[in-house]
Structure 1
Amino acid sequence: MCHNCAATAESGLAAGTLPTAGTVPSRRSVAKLLALGAGLTALAACTPDGGTQPPSSSSPPGTSASVSPVSATPSAGPGTSTAPATEPGTAAAPAPATTSAPTPTSPAAGLAKQHSLTDPASPWLVVNKHRPLSPADYVPADLVQPNIALAVSGEAAQLNSTTAAAAEQMFAAAARDGVTVTLASGYRSYGTQVATYNSYVASRGQAEADTASARPGFSEHQTGWSFDIGDGGGACSFQPCFADQPAAVWAKANGHRFGFVVRYPWMLHEITGYYYESWHLRFIGVEAATDMANRGIATLEEYFGLEAAPGYL
């Protein structure tokens, strides 16, 4: 056993003097050299892996890079994320999670019917700052304009057919309760999200833009499964005070009956990546939405057993 290998080696070095050229080493010099060798051997025995130290990293830790405006055409091709490029020399981001089903221990795993968490055509698709759409420029194949009160036109008035049917039922139920709900923003194409995100970056800077607008290829609006609502009176649209408007209050209390959840709840931005949006509803199906409500689980990340996504990787 080695108790003080460093001291042993140091004493060997102090005692050993190499013979000069052309001289014959004495027995005492040979003994000193042997002692030196023994000391170095003992020192190596006390160092993990025979004295080989772990290599130190020559690269500095990766840092968040500034992002230039995003191109309207995904340059990486289908099936890949087209998040804005990082500056040369920064570490590459790890690949996004590819979980295709809830983890066995997640609350959703107990439901009778399971869906993919990565397929854009799945009602359980989870899109967040760690989980981009694949392909990045995905377009739903079944976009339709629902028969509901609209505050927008064009592509923003569209949803996928499943979400549209559920929205028609929910808006009608709200109307029976005396609450007028309007569709304030529905489907948003990849190209539209490019323009939306770039405008935020230009006016607020990237850091603040990332708290309010998804990067292209990372937006739920592109899936057709989500939309923003407005109140019939038009008050507080896309503002914090909207949470107190009749449409928001009703949707929060009743949305699960029609398969909807408030996707970005109050004070859970460290999980979802976005501050409270009382107007942003997401369809996941009646069974899952009701189960979340009954269990008091507010985010899809927690419900499906996924990691929090407060920022981009």
Structure 2
Amino acid sequence: MCHDCVAGGAASGASRRSFARFLAAGAGLTVLAACTPEAPVAVAPSSPAPVPTVTSDYTSPSAAAVESTTAAAEPPAQAPVPPSAAASLPGQFSLTDPASPWVVVNKHRPLQPADYAPADLVQPNVQLAVSGEAALLNSTTAAAAEAMFAAAARDGVVMTLASGYRSYGTQVATYNGYVAARGQADADTASARPGYSEHQTGWAFDIGDGGGACGFQPCFADQPAAVWVKANGHRFGFVVRYPWWLHPITGYYYEPWHLRYIGVEAATDMANRGISTLEEYFGVEAAPGYAGN
């Protein structure tokens, strides 16, 4: 558990504790995430209802952490944005082609085709915390990641590639494992459906901190790697894809470890305008849940 590893002062601690309380109250102590790379073990029908569990990636806040919270955090105000703020940029890319750096993948916008696989997967020359397909990115994202990791290292910050590409077949196994263990409703919050994950595009990956603290937990937001990348990622074309308190737009709770490449121009423009989500920036509808459900 990592409920007591928040750093950065009283204000930061209160906000993180409030986040833990929010998760517990609104999601039954399940961290809602887009990035689960490994299917859990199914629970037999005769087994008692399981307590909140830890997957290979995520740790749910403990009951003690929830009970110790006292303040409710307010979501940050989002500045109004035009139907497509990106229209002001000179270069335009497809929002539907999975080979495009601007493709928007969410619970309303599956990949087409659903079993898409990048043709240019490579292993970036960065510090890895994984192997196999999870260590791969498309070639453009890999080059940008190498430059970003090197810049962070020059600033004394060590980060790791914690989860990269995820094939359609891997997502099928992951999602089906969640359905078998917890039912579809819970699976739809804990694991992206096959064909609905940015990891399948090669444009997205998860980072870890070089010290290994708070991996895939809310307190990761206060670790050096997360703090550095939030402030500097746009210089290399990356955005934090699932920002704080914007799950009604993105469909996923805060994931300070999940980075998405959209190009330096677009990422910098988003930062300068104070726009936090791709849905708002590219003028597409919010996707809090799967369409039709």
TM-score, L = length of structure 1: 0.66
**Residue identity opposite 2:90 in structure 1:** A
CA distance in 2, matches of 1:298, 1:163: 20
- The answer to whether the 8 A contact 2:248-2:288 is kept is yes
**Range with bigger deviation, 147-156 or 207-216:** 207-216
Query: Structure 2 vs 1, CA of residues 121 and 303 (structure 1 numbering), >3 Å: closer, same or farther?
Result: same
- The answer to whether the 8 A contact 1:264-1:276 is kept is yes
- The answer to whether the 8 A contact 1:149-1:182 is kept is yes
Query: Structure 2 vs 1, CA of residues 238 and 195 (structure 1 numbering), >3 Å: closer, same or farther?
Result: same
Partner of 2:202: 224
**Residue identity opposite 2:223 in structure 1:** Q
Determine which structure has more spread, i.e. the larger CA radius of gyration: 1
Where do 5+ consecutive residues of structure 2 fail to align? Answer: 1-80
Q: Once the two structures are superposed, what CA deviation does each residue of 1:103-148 show, in whole Å capped at 9, x if it has no partner?
A: 9841101101000000010000000011100111001000000000
- What does 1:273-284 align with in structure 2 at a 5 Å threshold? 273-284=251-262
Partner of 1:143: 121
**Residue identity opposite 1:209 in structure 2:** A
Partner of 2:136: 158
Equivalent of 1:234, from 181, 189, 212? 212
Q: Secondary structure at the match of 2:186?
A: helix
Count of residues in correspondence between the two structures: 211
- The answer to whether the 8 A contact 1:211-1:275 is kept is no
CA distance in 1, matches of 2:131, 2:212: 16
Equivalent of 1:304, from 282, 285, 293? 282
- The answer to whether the 8 A contact 1:212-1:274 is kept is no
Equivalent of 2:108, from 125, 130, 141? 130
Query: Structure 2 vs 1, CA of residues 192 and 116 (structure 1 numbering), >3 Å: closer, same or farther?
Result: same
Once the two structures are TM-superposed, the CA of residue 241 in structure 1 deviates from its matched residue by 1.1
In percent, how many aligned pairs have the same letter?
A: 86
Equivalent of 1:208, from 167, 186, 209? 186
Partner of 2:87: 109
The two structures, once aligned, show a CA RMSD in angstroms of 1.3
CA distance in 2, matches of 1:116, 1:168: 25
Equivalent of 1:180, from 158, 173, 187? 158
CA distance in 1, matches of 2:187, 2:217: 16
- The answer to whether the 8 A contact 1:259-1:285 is kept is yes
**Residue identity opposite 1:290 in structure 2:** T
CA distance in 2, matches of 1:207, 1:155: 28
Once the two structures are TM-superposed, the CA of residue 198 in structure 1 deviates from its matched residue by 1.8
**Residue identity opposite 2:126 in structure 1:** I
- The answer to whether the 8 A contact 2:83-2:280 is kept is no
CA distance in 2, matches of 1:297, 1:105: 12
Residues 1:246 and 2:227 aligned together: no
Off by >3 Å, runs of 4+ in structure 1: none
- The answer to whether the 8 A contact 1:147-1:168 is kept is yes
CA distance in 2, matches of 1:204, 1:234: 28
Partner of 2:51: none
Q: Secondary structure at the match of 1:167?
A: helix
Q: Once the two structures are superposed, what CA deviation does each residue of 1:43-92 show, in whole Å capped at 9, x if it has no partner?
A: xxxxxxxxxxxxxxxxxxxxxxxxxxxxxxxxxxxxxxxxxxxxxxxxxx
CA distance in 1, matches of 2:208, 2:107: 25
Once the two structures are TM-superposed, the CA of residue 197 in structure 1 deviates from its matched residue by 1.4
**Range with bigger deviation, 114-123 or 196-205:** 196-205
- The answer to whether the 8 A contact 1:228-1:279 is kept is yes
**Residue identity opposite 2:272 in structure 1:** N
CA distance in 2, matches of 1:134, 1:292: 26
**Residue identity opposite 1:133 in structure 2:** L
Q: Secondary structure at the match of 1:170?
A: helix
**Residue identity opposite 2:183 in structure 1:** G
**Residue identity opposite 1:180 in structure 2:** V
**Range with bigger deviation, 288-297 or 190-199:** 190-199
CA distance in 2, matches of 1:134, 1:106: 22
CA distance in 2, matches of 1:241, 1:210: 23
Q: Secondary structure at the match of 2:148?
A: helix
- The answer to whether the 8 A contact 2:85-2:283 is kept is yes
Q: Secondary structure at the match of 1:202?
A: helix
